[in-house]
Structure 1
Amino acid sequence: MTNMIESGISSDAASDNILADEDRRKQDRHIAMLRLAKIKTESGEGWGFIKNLSATGMMVEVHPDFELSDGISALLTEDQELAGTVRWRKKALAGIEFTTPIDIAEVLAKPNEAKHGRISRLPRIEMKHPINLYQGSRLIHGDICDISPAGICVSTDFTFEIGKNLRLSVPELLDITGTVRWQSGQRVGIVFSKRLPLDDLMVWLSTFYRAARIDTGVLEVLHKGSDTGGAVEATADCLPFQVIGHDDLGKEILIDTMYSATEALTQFKATSKFFYRVSIRNADNVELSIGTIVLQAFDEERAAAKAQSS
């Protein structure tokens, strides 16, 4: 066997090579995970899941209808942002290469106190949407400023008492209860009594963005520019819809059979709390994304409104 002296390789050079190999292995190491994150792109923002992570990149899962631009960032908390470039996209999954390598241990550490002693919180989606708040029997009108599964910020002229319990009513979402945590001018911070189910919130957000795109005409442009839009709509039109409940052992239970996307969506929201997971399939037994069902439900509503007006 040739030793380092015979080969002309110094011990220092060998040590450097070993350290370089260790650094490369650390960067190549992928950690499987499932972490909720706010996904920001040039075209909009929403929620997704980080499914695996390395020092140089990550794989995220988003709605298939969520448009991703080249530049993207994922926020695990308000103070923890991972920025990079989309390198590949396959339906709901996308591969992101980070702009600069990250420290995985630091990213995975539990959030500690952030700046000014404030605890890091889940990132929120900024928006403007009407909301009704009830303090006892009193109705108060306001607008949503931002929302997350844990809380909401609203804008209103009403002055609240800190610690007061409220009931919040938002179209397409179930009634929510919460507590006033802070108020600054017209902006009021409310923490929910119970975290909102992410599926319900994503369905509602999809509906909100869908309506906004219809109003601005952006949706038609997106549909025309989509290579898969026609195929998605074709599978969604394959009736009837089957709403399937899944337990944590993989067993499937047929909850109901529906003949409209609107009914299927309603059943999905009503039964999600009773199962490990709920899915919707078409007559060809193809599982459909919630985004696809929301789009189909909107098409049904528009067709019904057009029929009534004619």
Structure 2
Amino acid sequence: MEQVEQQESAAAMERRAGKRHSAVLLLGKLCGAEPGVCLVHNISANGLMARFVVAPHVGDSIEVEVRGLPPVRGTVRWVRGQKAGVQFDSPQPYERIFSTHNEDGTTPRPPRFDVSMAVEVRLGDRKFMAEMCDVSAGGAKLDATAAVEPGQAGQILMRPSGTAIFGTICWVKEGRFGFRFVSPLPIATLADLVVRK
């Protein structure tokens, strides 16, 4: 019995000895039937530690997407409050989260969440309704018939909460436009948008 405990302890130490990188404020997207949000604090080839809006349970199988990596499946190994450790099902090239370019030459970006939500857009003294199509911590894609131009500053007003998000139009294409937020959304606000989609 003592030998088994020693072997398990040695295995646990070996798992923890893997190279880790601190990645504070790295947004994670929980994939699946009910998408969610987490904040990754550190990550290695074998797993990650994150703070969850809704804490998972030990033994849960979850799929997490972070900047530079496709959705990765893993198992929750421990939970302390809102934080949890996830062991990946297979080793991952986690170094990609620090890359400035993907293998195909595109720029890695934080995960985006599909939403379908009517919002009011205010640009100067103009107001019009738009449909938010997707959102991330740093911006949103909107669909609207109103004429807009890159560089215009304003705000998105969400009803019925009345939450205002300030930002700038960064691109316009075929009736849709990108709205870059002045500052990243707090994780609780982003999680609320994802849940209310």
C-alpha distance in structure 2 between counterparts of 1:117 and 1:158, whole Å: 33
Within the candidate set 18, 35, 47, 1:45 is matched to 35
1:1-310 matches, within 5 Å, as 28-29=17-18, 31=20, 33=22, 34-64=24-54, 70-77=60-67, 79-81=68-70, 83-90=72-79, 91-104=81-94, 106-107=95-96, 109=98, 111-114=99-102, 117-171=105-159, 172=161, 174-202=163-191, 204-205=192-193, 209=195
Output one character per residue of 1:43-74: Cα deviation in whole Å (capped at 9) or x when no partner. Answer: 32222122333322222221236689954332
Structure 2 gaps of 5+ residues are 1-12
Higher strand share: 2
Report the CA distance shift for 1:37/1:189 in structure 2 as closer, same or farther (over 3 A). same
Structure 1 gaps of 5+ residues are 1-23, 213-310
Report the CA distance shift for 1:62/1:80 in structure 2 as closer, same or farther (over 3 A). same
Output one character per residue of 1:273-305: Cα deviation in whole Å (capped at 9) or x when no partner. Answer: xxxxxxxxxxxxxxxxxxxxxxxxxxxxxxxxx
Aligned residues: 182
Output one character per residue of 1:130-187: Cα deviation in whole Å (capped at 9) or x when no partner. Answer: 1001222222111111112211111112232222222221132532222211122232
Q: What's the TM-score once normalised by structure 1's chain length?
A: 0.50
Q: CA deviation at 1:199?
A: 4.0
Higher helix share: 1
- The answer on whether the counterparts of 2:116 and 2:131 sit within 8 Å (CA) in structure 1 is yes
Q: Larger RCO: Structure 1 or Structure 2 (Cα < 8 Å, ≥ 6 residues apart)?
A: 2
- The answer on whether the counterparts of 1:57 and 1:95 sit within 8 Å (CA) in structure 2 is yes
Percentage of pairs with the same residue: 20
CA-atom RMSD, angstroms?
3.2
C-alpha distance in structure 2 between counterparts of 1:68 and 1:157, whole Å: 47
C-alpha distance in structure 1 between counterparts of 2:115 and 2:100, whole Å: 28
Output one character per residue of 1:11-30: Cα deviation in whole Å (capped at 9) or x when no partner. Answer: xxxxxxxxxxxxx9698425
